Amino acid sequence: MTTLTRRDWLAAGALTLGTSLLPSRGRAQAEAATLRFIPQADLRSIDPIWTTAYVTRNFGYLVFDTLFALDAQFKPQPQMVDTWTVSNDKLVYKFTLRAGLKWHDGLPVRTADCIASIERWAKRDQFGQKMMEAVETIAADNDNAFTIRLKAPFPLLLNGLGKLSSNVPFMMPERLAKTDPFQQIPEAIGSGPFKFVKAEWEPGHKAVFARNIDYVPRTEPPSLAAGGKLAMVDRVEWLYIPDPATAAAALKAGEVDWWELPPADLLPVFKDDPNVKVAITDPLGNMGVLRFNHLLPPFDRLKMREAVLNLVDQKDYMRAVAGDPKYWRTCVALFICGGTPFETRAGAEALLRGPNLDKAKALIAASGYKGERIVLMSATDQPIVQAQALVTAAALTKAGLNIDLQAMDWGTLVTRRASKKPIAEGGWNLFHTWTAAPDMLSPALNIPLRANGENAWFGWPSDPKLEALIDAWFKASDYAAQKRLAEQIQVEAYRGDVPYVPTGQFVIPTAYRSNLHGIIVAPVAFLWNVEKT
Amino acid sequence: MFSYIVRRILATIPVMAVVAIFVFALLHLSPGDPAAIIAGDTATPADIARIRAHLGLDQPIYIQFGDWVWRLMHGDLGISIFTDLPVTQLIAQRVEPTVALTISTLVVSVAVAIPLGIIAAWKAGTWIDRAVMVFAVLGFSVPVFVLAYLLIYAFAIAADWLPVQGYVGPSRGLWPFVSHLILPSIALGMIYAALIARITRASMLDVLAQDYIRTAQAKGLGSLRVLLGHALKNASVPIVTIIGIGVALLISGVVVTETVFAIPGLGRLTVDAILRRDYPIIQGIILIFSGVYVLINLLVDLSYTLLDPRIRY
């Protein structure tokens, strides 16, 4: 028997240590095939129908697929659907699915899965609910084809099925789609270009996706959410880094490849770094919102809401929110500026003219305001919300309003805004938020615009005329009619109700390592087509 | 001794019960509704109400408490409201990074602080003593996050010696594991090193003034032997006490360090859960933390008997 000497043990130890220190060839190849991405928020839920969180929507685009998807011109294009027909009376839509579609568990995609998915989505999404009002039946013709019969023409049917932002009508297997829409699905089995690796999911830290080798992409080039979805990396890792300074350092050091939404104040860090690119991949960006509580005085009076309209200077808001002018623009269009289908300036004279303190004071006096306390809620853990609130507090105080700026966290704000109680019992008058542009592109999507009283979004505006115009817009048969009605809606919103005030449109650039190529210009960070060299 | 340990362990039960009631009441009485956070910005009040019902949050608080206690008695900490994953699984995922960070911080702190404290006491009144005290004041004064950013800039960005962020388990190699802990341990350990160094110095000064130390020196024993063999052991009770308290403080102190260095530990899990009102996670973690505190105190008390034979339980 050979006895190992102390020198042998030392040599063996040094060899083991050295091996663990040196990167292996396999590890280097894995680095190149892995895309490390810092998402905008932590992935907390894997059900994009249960929650409207944008991070879960983005997760959905990796894992699930859609029947239709919007292209760069915001027109619905087939995605999982191969062919479709519409009857002459516009009441019968027949769809055939693409051949060879498979779920991540290996089972084929069937029409029963898609029907259940549409039904679940429509129970949670307001566009979906509107669509289902027009639907008579959705029935499977066979495992590969299905028919939607309508009670009345609904020209936006394909737009609904291709809805871009939350809630997106993602397709799921029937067994998951049958889950109550107010409960989470237990697993994320989709048919999208990446598979979710649930075993490696560490909420608050990491989510992992593996390339779906069974995915059959469309042959068209990618265009927004439409076209071919080519997974160019074997593995995607979402690494949630809560501290922005650390995230910036990690990107500079090459520990991550792409940071979805770096804050504006850290962008100069990358200015002279040849390894990092800063780009605007979401040119439409987001819209700031000032919301009134229409149930409580003083903003239950139109004159007071008009007074605020005459105090708002969007430039002040945008300087506070986004800083550098190349990242923001003033925008009075309720359906977003930047060449969008329903962009208009109609009715927005007050905002276009800019602040008019004398007129605002006159409107305040005419409204009968007696100096009662106005509660403006602000979430200090949401920099964009907080910045807007500070600007509003200053502008309204200048006009003589008694502003009580109440600081809280976002979790408290979203709870309190559901309260209809008077101020003395914890009620509120004003709060700010912001919305991604795709969620405001049309009257079908712009939720804060709705003025259907008790059923409206928090603040509960009530304006039957505005609601009638929105109903008419849904039924409009062509784009010209939709465009005309969208203008009328905006005029009524600005002059007849003022459900909210847009505070400006801003973009948040994205930052990525220079060895990434093929990033799609879109309001959502799609991770297909992205190559790492 | 054995009966003392049993008594102390049994005494944790009422402590944990009080903690459980207090935490549950505090969470459910504080503002914030997880259903509203889940539902998102465009949800209607009806959507939120239905989600609340599904989560059982519309039940009276005593029923929610009863359900939670019943599950707790069966070893079930509940299910995370947001992720739909068991709280035990989420905590289990996070234990290793926090324990690794805590231990490495303690090692760094003790390895630096005790020698510094001994040297400062030995050279009391000299420039060495003053330099150690300046270090201690700096350690107390510089916030963890400031030191963390400076370390990241110097050692991860400028020198490119160490990683910026993240945690790698020991199963993926010794160096990746250690390299990810060096900067966080230094950043977090600075304040504890300062604390331990000051206590060590003060305790050693007391002991070094004792007659038996003078006797030992008069007998011709070397300085090192006097300091380590005679003085340090007798000065160690307050030092061990402060290290024990330090462990408890470290568990709460890791929150900032874990956030800055993106380490997926229990501290970050707690903060994330608080921000989104994920009640089962908050309740579970606080309960576990309180149990760990009690256990650490017990271990510190027991260690006294090893350090000082006069102490008996």
Same domain, B143 and B37: no
DSSP state of B225: I
Same domain, B159 and B209: yes
- Residue A16's pLDDT is 46
Q: Span A355-361, mean pLDDT? A: 96
Q: Span B173-192, mean pLDDT? A: 94
Residues of B in contact with A254 (CB under 8 A): none
Same domain, B18 and B157: no
Task: Compute CA distances A318 → A208, A344, B38, B183, B245, whole Å.
Answer: 36, 20, 28, 38, 48
| Residue B263 Cα to chain centre, angstroms | 14
Same domain, B65 and B109: no
Is the Cβ pair B42, A414 closer than 8 Å? no
Q: B-contacting residues of A 141-180, CB under 8 Å?
A: 166, 180
- Measure the CA–CA gap between A246 and B260, rounded to whole angstroms: 6
Is the Cβ pair B32, A202 closer than 8 Å? no
- Mean predicted lDDT score pLDDT of chain A: 92
CB-count exposure of residue B74 (10 Å: 0-12, 13-18, 19+) = exposed
Residue A128 has pLDDT above 60, yes or no: yes
Owner of token pair 């007129």: A359
Owner of token pair 């669509």: A131
Q: Are A212 and A194 in contact (CB under 8 A)?
A: yes
Domains contained in chain B, number: 2
Of A85-99, A291-305, A500-514, B205-219, the one with minimum mean pLDDT is: B205-219
Where does the pLDDT of residue A240 fall: very low under 50, low under 70, confident under 90, or very high at 90 and above?
A: very high
DSSP state of A296: S
Residue A498 has pLDDT above 70, yes or no: yes
- Residue A24's pLDDT is 47
Is the Cβ pair B165, A241 closer than 8 Å? yes
Nearest CA in chain A to B260: A243
Enter the ipTM.
0.80
- pTM for the complete prediction? 0.84
Instruction: Measure B264 CA to nearest chain A CA, in Å.
Output: 6
B86 part of a folded domain: no
Cα dihedral across residues A62, A64, A66, A67: positive or negative: positive
Instruction: Measure B276 CA to nearest chain A CA, in Å.
Output: 6
Nearest to A457 among B42, B261, B272 (CB): B42
Q: A-contacting residues of B 275-304, CB under 8 Å?
A: 275-277
Is the Cβ pair A241, B262 closer than 8 Å? yes
- Residue A411's pLDDT is 79
B9 part of a folded domain: no
Q: Which helix (H) or strand (E) holds A286?
A: strand A286-292
Closest CA to A437 of A354, A522, A497: A522
Nearest CA in chain A to B93: A202
CATH number at residue B228: 1.10.3720.10
First to last CA, chain A: 53
| Residue B157 Cα to chain centre, angstroms | 28
Q: Which helix (H) or strand (E) holds A328?
A: strand A328-329
Residues of A in contact with B31 (CB under 8 A): 408, 412, 415-416
Is the Cβ pair B45, A184 closer than 8 Å? no
- Mean predicted lDDT score pLDDT of chain B: 87
- Measure the CA–CA gap between B160 and A432, rounded to whole angstroms: 42
Q: Which candidate in B52, B54, B84 is best for mutational testing of the A interface (most A CBs within 10 A)? A: B84
B138 part of a folded domain: yes
Nearest CA in chain A to B267: A204
User: Does A474 or A31 have the greater pLDDT score?
Assistant: A474
Query: Which amino acid does the sequence have at B74?
Result: H
HEC string for A37-76:
EECCCCCCCCCCCCCCCHHHHHHHHHHCEECEEECCCCCE
Closest CA to A448 of B49, A456, A490: A456
Where does the pLDDT of residue A18 fall: very low under 50, low under 70, confident under 90, or very high at 90 and above?
A: very low
Q: What own/partner pairs with CB < 8 Å and gap ≥ 24 does A278-281 have?
A: A278/A509, A278/A510, A278/A511, A279/A509, A279/A510, A279/A511, A279/A512, A279/A519, A280/A327, A280/A507, A280/A509, A280/A510, A281/A509, A281/A510, A281/A519, A281/A520, A281/A521, A281/A522, A281/A525
Q: Which residues pair with A504 in a beta bridge?
A: A288
- Measure the CA–CA gap between B104 and B182, rounded to whole angstroms: 8
Q: B-contacting residues of A 412-471, CB under 8 Å?
A: 412, 414-418, 433, 435, 439, 447, 455-458
Q: Span A16-26, mean pLDDT? A: 46
Where does the pLDDT of residue A5 fall: very low under 50, low under 70, confident under 90, or very high at 90 and above?
A: low
Is the Cβ pair B160, A253 closer than 8 Å? yes
Same domain, B102 and B232: yes
CB-count exposure of residue A42 (10 Å: 0-12, 13-18, 19+) = buried
Residue B247 has pLDDT above 70, yes or no: yes
Q: Span B84-99, mean pLDDT? A: 92
Q: Which helix (H) or strand (E) holds B170?
A: none
Helix intervals (H) in B30-86: 34-39, 45-55, 61-73
Where does the pLDDT of residue A23 fall: very low under 50, low under 70, confident under 90, or very high at 90 and above?
A: very low
Residues of A in contact with B268 (CB under 8 A): 204-205, 242
Task: Compute CA distances A346 → A338, A342, A486, B220, whole Å.
Answer: 16, 11, 9, 98
- Tell me: the pLDDT tens digits for A35-53? 999 999 889 899 999 988 8
Same domain, B125 and B256: yes
Q: A-contacting residues of B 72-131, CB under 8 Å?
A: 80, 82-85, 90, 93-94
Residues of A in contact with B262 (CB under 8 A): 205, 239-243, 246-247, 250
Q: Which candidate in B33, B37, B42 is best for mutational testing of the A interface (most A CBs within 10 A)? A: B42
Residues of A in contact with B149 (CB under 8 A): 245
B4 part of a folded domain: no
Q: B-contacting residues of A 87-116, CB under 8 Å?
A: none
Nearest to A44 among B36, B260, B276 (CB): B276
Is the Cβ pair B90, A203 closer than 8 Å? yes
Backbone angles phi, psi at A57, to 5 degrees: -60, -45
- Residue A28's pLDDT is 55
- Tell me: the pLDDT tens digits for B61-78? 889 888 888 888 888 888
Q: Which residues pair with A93 in a beta bridge?
A: A86, A148
Same domain, B173 and B109: yes
Query: Which amino acid does the sequence have at A187?
Result: E
A53 touches chain B (CB under 8 A): yes
Closest CA to B32 of B255, B282, B293, B236: B282
Same domain, B59 and B104: no
- Measure the CA–CA gap between B272 and A411, rounded to whole angstroms: 11
The count of other CB atoms within 10 Å of the CB of residue B210 is: 14
Of A291-295, B204-208, B241-245, the one with minimum mean pLDDT is: B241-245
**Containing structural domain, residue B228:** 96-307
Nearest to A412 among B32, B149, B173 (CB): B32
- Residue A27's pLDDT is 53
Nearest to B85 among A20, A203, A456 (CB): A203
Residue at which a domain ends, from B40, B73, B106: B73
B241 part of a folded domain: yes
Q: Span B261-286, mean pLDDT? A: 89
Pairing type for strands A430-436 and A374-379 reads parallel
Instruction: For each of the domains in chain A, give its residue range(s) and CATH number, in order of start.
Output: 33-43+185-282+509-532 (3.40.190.10), 63-177 (3.90.76.10), 286-506 (3.10.105.10)
Is the Cβ pair B36, A415 closer than 8 Å? yes
B160 touches chain A (CB under 8 A): yes
Residues of B in contact with A456 (CB under 8 A): 44
- Measure the CA–CA gap between A200 and A206, rounded to whole angstroms: 8
First to last CA, chain B: 6
Same domain, B280 and B132: yes
Name the token pair of A236. 């995607």
Is the Cβ pair A414, B41 closer than 8 Å? yes
- pLDDT above 70: percentage of residues in chain A: 94
Where does the pLDDT of residue B158 fall: very low under 50, low under 70, confident under 90, or very high at 90 and above?
A: very high
Is the Cβ pair B262, A124 closer than 8 Å? no
Is the Cβ pair A418, B45 closer than 8 Å? yes
Helix intervals (H) in B142-231: 144-151, 174-208, 211-218, 223-224
Instruction: Measure A37 CA to nearest chain B CA, in Å.
Output: 13
Helix intervals (H) in A239-356: 244-252, 302-309, 314-322, 349-353
- Measure the CA–CA gap between B228 and A207, rounded to whole angstroms: 50
Is the Cβ pair B175, A241 closer than 8 Å? no
Q: Span A412-431, mean pLDDT? A: 91
Same domain, B148 and B278: yes
Cβ pairs A/B, distance under 8 A:
142
Closest CA to A35 of A196, A281, A232, A270: A232
Nearest to B42 among A45, A52, A252 (CB): A52
Name the token pair of A15. 């060899």
Same domain, B122 and B239: yes
B139 part of a folded domain: yes
Residues of B in contact with A45 (CB under 8 A): 38, 82-84
Same domain, B143 and B19: no
Nearest CA in chain B to A457: B44
Sequence-distant (≥ 6) Cβ neighbours of residue A116 within 8 angstroms: A172, A174, A177, A178
- Tell me: the pLDDT tens digits for A101-122? 999 999 999 999 999 999 999 9
Is the Cβ pair B157, A126 closer than 8 Å? no
Residue at which a domain ends, from B58, B73, B88: B73
- Tell me: the pLDDT tens digits for A206-219? 999 999 999 999 99
CB crowding A96-117: b at 16 or more within 10 Å, else e:
bbbeebebbeeeebbbebbbbb
Q: A-contacting residues of B 18-57, CB under 8 Å?
A: 31-34, 36-48, 50-51, 53-54
Instruction: Measure B251 CA to nearest chain A CA, in Å.
Output: 18
Q: Are A404 and A364 in contact (CB under 8 A)?
A: no
Q: Which candidate in A22, A42, A44 is best for mutational testing of the B interface (most B CBs within 10 A)? A: A44
Closest CA to B167 of B270, B275, B267, B282: B267
User: Using alpha carbons only, what angle is made at residue A14 by residues A12 and A15, rounded to the nearest 5 degrees?
Assistant: 65
- Report the phi/psi class of residue B88: left, alpha or beta, with left for phi > 0 and alpha for psi in -120 to 50: alpha
Instruction: Measure A292 CA to nearest chain B CA, in Å.
Output: 15
- Measure the CA–CA gap between B246 and B227, rounded to whole angstroms: 24
- Residue A21's pLDDT is 45
B3 part of a folded domain: no
Q: Which candidate in B27, B41, B85 is best for mutational testing of the A interface (most A CBs within 10 A)? A: B41
Task: Compute CA distances A296 → A373, A410, B46, B165, whole Å.
Answer: 11, 22, 20, 48
